[in-house]
Chains A and B, each alone.
Chain A
Amino acid sequence: MRSRIAFWNILKKDIKNYYLKPPNISWGIIFPLSWTLMQLIRSPGENVLKLLPGLMAMSVLFGTTSMLAVTITFERSGRSFERLLLAPISINVLVLAKIAGTVLFGIFNAFVPIIFASFFKDLRGVNFGIILPTVFMIAVSSALMGLLIAVSAKQVFEAQTFSNFFRFPMLFLCGLFVPISDLPVFLRPISYLLPLTYGADILKGAVTGVNTLSPTLSFGMLILFSVVLFLISRHNINRKWIL
């Protein structure tokens, strides 16, 4: 009961104070839009559908990891975050409440390119029943990566830097823009250590019908990554924020 009220109010506060703020909302829209436009201008004949999985994955990634890392680091530096640690709610509830807002924001971002694409293409062939849970799991795992970054960063700019350090190589290695089979052999194992690789593959399958890996295995991997990231984050919060 107490946890439910706390969870809901932390989520509401974050949405209102961070995610609904004009700069963040517009970032969530402008970024995917400009990417789509850029791709279309570069190769005008290309099928928009082929771009869609990459755009969605990227939008989620950009809407979550650094958002959470930055907002938490911001609250930590103003010390209002202490309130959450001192409230009579478990760290599990705290972590879930903090990532919930980011996950919603990530899902919202993912649907910007879809809506945009629907103006150009008939999207009836796209399997939304698969896309939604996959986008959700990509958002969860990316948000948890953001949390992990927040536990390591001391300042907001550090959180920014760490986020970029993770997400750009991740985009490059996840197989969306360069197929994993085309990557140098020594980079391939790294690809398989990234949650995005699995998420991207399911999205590709859902949009274009071509999968590299089994969707069930990929979805399982996304869940596994999320659980492991959750446990590491919780452990690190306990160790580093309660001195």
Chain B
Amino acid sequence: MINVTNLRKTYGDFTAVNNISFEVQKGEIFGFLGPNGAGKTSTINMMIGLSRPTAGEIFINGIDVRKQTKKAQSIMGIVADESNLYNEMDGFENLCFCAALYGMEKDEREVKARHLLEEFGLKDAAKRSFKAYSKGMKRKLTIAAALIHSPEILFLDEPTTGIDVESSRQIRKRIKALKEQGTTVFLTTHYIEEAERLCDRIAFIAKGQIVASGTVTELMDSVSHGHVIRFVTSKFAENLTAELQSNFEGSIATIQSDNTMIMKSEERIPLLPVMNFLHDKGIDVYEATELRPSLEDVFVKLTGIESSVLKRDEKKGGRK
């Protein structure tokens, strides 16, 4: 659906996007995850034809965006990083106007506008002027406006930045629903959790370059970490670590506290033998959890950027 090759963008002697290449498949949600200034907006602007690439190629559904910009734009829905509708018009008028820009007839425009207002929970605000909308409502209407002509592909630049948890959740739900209907989605974000929850595939972007890309699982696997299991037990087991290590070859056991012990191994660790071993020593096992690195750990490791540089979705943060 999207094929980008060796894309570059320079402003004077500053390189904002440095030779990036990637592909997005039809019906997938693809996300660019990166800190401020990474080059996310610069890339998206070139893909939608709002800015000219210094070098490289962009094909959308086989259409060369650089040569047939208008043809490509007719199948795109575009959500800019700011909610940029017309302040002096109400919600319904805004949607109808956007529909007209894509050549939709009056009846069709109005039916679709009403439908989208309903879908985005903005029915009651249809007759209120855009400037009276809250930030979250503005964001939702802006996304609705991008969907008015039923685009095959949707571009979203930081869809949930500056939006509260509940609105963000609703927006993510809508994006997922779109994917179910077959829309291809390209989005940028600096929320790790958002990328992880929403995207089928993610590209880490930093300083204008793609550092790594793939599914969440692929990205996790690209950083070798072995297997780590944490046992919560009934009592202290320090004197047992050496014995455990000799019984379970290749593993390293460490005591974390009075009743937790960590076992690490390159191979997967079978649980039952360990539990039986401890049981024979009169130790009850209450809990055994596999500790996985978070996507955040992977991001930090691959990009060398501290995750605090990315704004985190505080309320939902935390690792699994």
Chain A residues with a Cβ under 8 A of chain B: 1-3, 5-6, 8-10, 13, 17, 78-80, 82-90, 242-243
Contacts and interface: CB of A to CB of B under 8 A. Distances in A.
Nearest to B83: A79
A86 B73 contact: yes
Contacts of A6: 100-103
Nearest to A3: B103
Contact of B48 (A13, A17, A86): A86
A179 B101 CA distance: 47
Most buried by A among B84, B87, B89, B98: B84
A33 B74 CA distance: 47
B88 interface: yes
B103 A86 contact: no
B77 to A, nearest CB: 10
Given A9-B97, A82-B50, A242-B50, A87 B84 contact: no
B25 interface: no
Given A9-B101, A80-B85, A243-B45, 17 more contacts: A2-B103, A5-B103, A5-B105, A6-B103, A8-B100, A9-B97, A13-B89, A17-B86, A78-B86, A79-B84, A82-B50, A82-B80, A83-B98, A83-B101, A86-B78, A88-B103, A89-B101
Given A242-B49, A242-B50, A243-B51, A5 B104 contact: yes
B101 A87 contact: yes
Contacts of B89: 13, 17
17 contacts: A3-B103, A5-B100, A6-B101, A9-B97, A9-B101, A13-B89, A79-B84, A80-B85, A80-B86, A83-B84, A83-B98, A87-B102, A88-B71, A88-B101, A90-B70, A242-B49, A242-B50
For the residues of B in contact with A, the DSSP-based class is: loop
Contacts, number: 68
B84 A86 contact: no
Contacts of A88: 70-71, 73-74, 101-103
B258 interface: no
A82 B70 CA distance: 14
Interface string B63-100: 00000001101101010101011111100000001101
B130 to A, nearest CB: 10
A79 B74 contact: no
Interface of B: 45, 48-52, 70-71, 73-74, 76, 78, 80, 82, 84-89, 97-98, 100-105
A1 B73 CA distance: 16
Nearest to A7: B100
B100 A9 contact: yes
A108 to B, nearest CB: 20
Contacts of A8: 100
B3 to A, nearest CB: 20
Contact of A78 (B84, B101, B104): B84
A82 B101 contact: no
B50 A1 contact: no
Contacts of B87: 78
B241 to A, nearest CB: 62
Contacts of A17: 86, 88-89
B51 A242 contact: yes
A2 B102 contact: yes
Contacts of A82: 50, 80, 84
A195 to B, nearest CB: 31
Contacts of B84: 78-80, 82-83
Given A17-B86, A79-B82, A86 B50 contact: yes
Contacts of B104: 5
The 3 nearest A-B residue pairs measured at CB: A2-B103, A9-B100, A88-B74
Nearest to A81: B84
A78 B86 CA distance: 8
A84 B101 contact: yes
Nearest to A94: B101
A13 B105 CA distance: 16
B39 to A, nearest CB: 14
B156 to A, nearest CB: 14
A101 B166 CA distance: 41
